[in-house]
Amino acid sequence: MELDFKLNTFTGNIKAETNGKGRWKHTFGMNTDYQENAIEGYNFLLPQYKRTTFGFYAIEQIALSGKLKLVGGARVDRGNVNIREFKDTILEDYLNRMNIYTPSEVLFYSNRSRSLNRWLTDFSGSVGFIYTPDNKQIIKLNTGRSFRLPAANELSANGVHHGTFRHEAGDTALNSEIGYQLDLSYTYETSRFYISLNPFVSWFTNYIFLEPTGEWSVLPHAGQIYRYNQAEAFIGGGEFSVSYEFVPDFTFESAIEYVYLQNLTDGYPLPFSPPASVLNGLTWHLHKENKPLDTHFRIEHRYTVRQSRIARNEEETPGYNLFDLGITSSYSLKKSKIEVNFQVQNIFDKRYYNHLSYYRKLNIPEMGRNVQFIIKYIF
């Protein structure tokens, strides 16, 4: 077997909270996780390691009025990762006999994992409010500080990840990822109209990301090397969605998504940035009260823009338009229901690429026209 991982995870949680009487609500808790990864096989990607984390948190909520609630929380975490060294002596001997690689290159490829035993401690916290001016609107605002301990693969991976078609290399010097966030949420809903707006901004002092290096790996089926790196980064964007039943039984829906990712250290966009997209849909609901038949006709159009905001050594991805069609009909019996679903996805058989897909770097397009016919009997 080429790769074999035996990962065991044990999780424990303790939580205590008040019953919610009065203006205050208190929540306290503790989480702990223990992971142990053993490896086998003739190839290498992740090392043998043990990882332990535990954290304590507290959340406070106070109702300032019948319409306004203030929520705040804090958390402290401490984690340890213990990684066993792994050296591929067979590969080392092979590269030396080739007599074309420098000693540092031989060391990088053969020393698959360095011994590491690190403790990391950090804290996070947030404060925000929930305002409900009436029964149709909800406004939420939240700001906070977050952190994330580096994962074992980010610290010590060094090999071909066949699921992603790339050579991934970790960095044992990575520190905790620290960020500061501000996000807003607004919703307005009536029986026929719904609107939602969710903008956010985040600033990271040392964001962890996988960076394409442009350096080609000597390992087979690897392509270029992707290294885990840290940099100051900005991430911002948001989601906007609206739904409107403009005439009885006819509903128009639209959703817009946009994310901006920027590496502030190097002045380039971060890799794997999702492109902006717009999804529009029209639904016809054919149903009569007290009748067993209920039918929905729906057509959708998705426009995804060209992704030209790319990191170094990353390819641009063209934009595309997709059209989908769906018909769902259900018939209710006394104690059961029959449901028939007919869908045609990518009606015009458009050839397109997903910028975030693992197949993008291989120039393999996404699925073409897909026709589905599903019958369900629910009892």
Model pLDDT for residues 172-198, shown as the tens digit of each residue: 999 999 999 999 999 999 999 999 999
Distances (CA, A) of 140 to 129, 137, 187, 254: 6, 10, 9, 22
**Does 272 score more than 70 pLDDT?**
yes
pLDDT score recorded for residue 5: 74
Per-residue pLDDT for 157 more than 80?
yes
> Which residues lie below 8 Å from residue 26, measured CB to CB, with a gap of 6+?
17, 18, 58, 59, 60
Residue 41 has pLDDT above 80, yes or no: no
Distance CA 28, CA 57 (A): 6
Say if residue 329's pLDDT is above 80: yes
pLDDT of 6 reads 85
Which of the pair, 3 or 64, is modelled with greater confidence? 64
Instruction: Kindly state the average pLDDT of the residues 149-171.
Output: 88
Q: Give the model's pLDDT for residue 1.
A: 60
Model confidence at 125: pLDDT above 70 = yes
Tokens of 152: 């074992």
The average pLDDT across 73-87 equals: 93
Instruction: Tell me what pLDDT residue 20 has.
Output: 66
Instruction: Find, among 231, 161, 245, 237, the residue nearest to 195 by Cα.
Output: 245
DSSP β-bridge partners for residue 110: none
pLDDT surpassing 90 at residue 282: yes
The span from the CA of 259 to the CA of 307, in Å, is 11
Percent of the chain whose pLDDT exceeds 90: 76
**Predicted local distance difference test score (pLDDT) of residue 42:** 66
pLDDT of 298 strictly over 70? yes
Is the pLDDT score of 221 beyond 90? no
Q: Residue 220: pLDDT band by 50, 70, 90 thresholds?
A: confident
